[in-house]
Amino acid sequence: MRSGPMAYLPPDETYVVLENSLEPEGVSWLYRNPTRIIECRDPDQLAASLAALQDAVSNGAYAAGLFSYEAGYVLEPRLRGKLPRTMAHPLMWFGLFDRRDRLSRSQLDNFWQDQCRGREGSLGQFSALVAQSDYLDNIRTIQNYLAAGDVYQVNYTFPMSAQAEGHPSAIHVQLRQAQPVAWGAYIQTPDMTISSHSPELFFEKRHDDFCLRPMKGTAARGRWPAEDDAQHQQLVDDAKSQAENLMIVDLERNDLSKLAVPGSVTVPTLFEAETYRSVIQMTSTVTGKVVPETGIVDIISALFPCGSVTGAPKIRAMEIIHELEVSPRGIY
């Protein structure tokens, strides 16, 4: 058994892995042995929980965790009444840690090999939790909203379900092999296990430099190199994908401007096509400099939830999502 962060972790231990399984030189982080957990299920306590998180980080703690999509309802007074009465997951959950372990790509692969030793896991076929007829009705409703100018873009989704067997870490490893991404995460607590495989960066803050990388516009990979190149170019040139992407870029520029030094918000790249295992994604980059005293409460209040998972305008899109989707999004 390897020592340090490579050691096998007990099945009941709380830990978080923020992983880059896409890039050979990518860096990942392991957080274990939390000194404290900040968990909020009461919307009236979200502001206090955010303040406690900010205070802990300001005093040197490392924090790793999650927000539920519905935390956005709490942050926006016009949406507060749309909060569900009960939710399967907390509005926010963060572990506070005294240290974190930096993992290279090879160390990350070895870590998961250790965690899966003697463990197996499998996922059955996924099935949609919405009837096709209801799905089509909802699409027509959205089209009517668009035609009326009530909204410009809606990120309508539906949940899917599959039978899981075995240990979650083994299932996570299968998923990360099928969909390598730069922004993956695995969170294990006594109450929940989250396996996340998102290719999209919501935001990154390094000192006073801020970066958002919204994705809108998708194409399937080609079956051979020439077809793949053609798919790539077709996505880059597609006017509809460009329009969808630009709407979210403008939304996120506006959101970031609430935090940024005046005149610092820029779009250094627009309509880039990034290639992943099964899809090609149109991605743009929005950057800016934020004032030094900008904290977690300011950032989450201004940006959350990400415009690429709502649509535009954000608040109206969220109202339509609440109207049409069959269940709370939760950890999204």
Q: What's the CA gap between 25 and 100, in Å, rounded? A: 19
Query: Within a 13 Å sphere around the CA of 152, how many CA atoms are in the beta-carbon half?
Result: 15
Active site residue 216: yes
Active site residue 82: no
Q: What's the CA gap between 170 and 144, in Å, rounded? A: 44
Q: What is the DSSP string of 235-250?
A: HHH-HHHHHHHHHHHH
Q: Per the residue annotation, which of 216, 244, 289, 314 is the catalytic one?
A: 216
Neighbours of 257 (CB within 10 A): 16
Three-class SS state of 72: helix
Residue length, the chain?
A: 332
Q: In the chain, where does DSSP find H-type helix?
A: 46-58, 71-75, 105-115, 132-147, 168-178, 225-237, 239-257, 296-303, 314-324
Q: Per the residue annotation, which of 19, 200, 252, 319 is the catalytic one?
A: 200
Q: What's the CA gap between 307 and 281, in Å, rounded? A: 16
Q: What's the CA gap between 250 and 120, in Å, rounded? A: 45
260: DSSP letter:
B
List the catalytic residues: 200, 216
